[in-house]
Amino acid sequence: MTRTAHAAVARPTARPMASKGRLAPFALAPLALAALLAMAPQPARAQADGGGEAGGDGQVNFNNSCRTCHTTSEGDNRLGPNLAGIIGRKAGSAEGYSYSSALAQADVTWDEATLDRFLENPDAWCPATT
């Protein structure tokens, strides 16, 4: 083959593997982006019987939207407070959970309508809620 024939052969311009079998730093960028997107906050949805989403199943909606941060087991607080007995409970009062001052000072007792409004847009319902 002539020298010009070699130039026409496509060669990769970026090497995904660095020396000694380690990944080059740029090779991890898509994985890091995917991890960040997976951790991004997602809006919560109501889990009324029959589903908070049209035609949905309440348990499925809870598992998909809430279970990462909340449980329905009394005393089992996670990133968010437990939701056991939330209907009829004063907002910001689950024992053993540290609420934002805005929610802790809210003069609200949870009922279905209030909970639905909160879940629709927590920041509008109670500014400074985390």
Tens place of pLDDT per residue across the chain (130 aa): 555 555 555 555 555 555 565 655 555 556 555 555 555 544 444 444 444 444 468 889 889 988 999 999 999 999 999 999 999 999 999 999 999 998 899 999 999 999 989 888 888 888 877 5
In a domain, 85, yes or no: yes
Residue 63 lies in domain: 58-125
Split into its structural domains, the chain has a count of 1
Residue of 46, 43, 55 lying closest to 110 (CA atoms): 46
Domain at 96, CATH number: 1.10.760.10
Q: Looking at the domain assignment, is residue 120 inside a domain?
A: yes
Which of 120, 66, 58, 128 is closest to 99 using CA atoms? 128
Task: Give domain status of residue 37, yes or no.
Answer: no
Q: Is residue 130 part of a domain?
A: no
Q: Is the pTM of this model over 0.95?
A: no
The residue among 47, 39, 40, 58 whose CA lies nearest residue 118 is 47
What are the phi and psi torsion angles at 68 (to 5°)?
A: -60, -35
What's the Cα-to-Cα distance from 124 to each of 41, 43, 60, 110, rounded to whole Å? Answer: 16, 13, 26, 16
In a domain, 31, yes or no: no
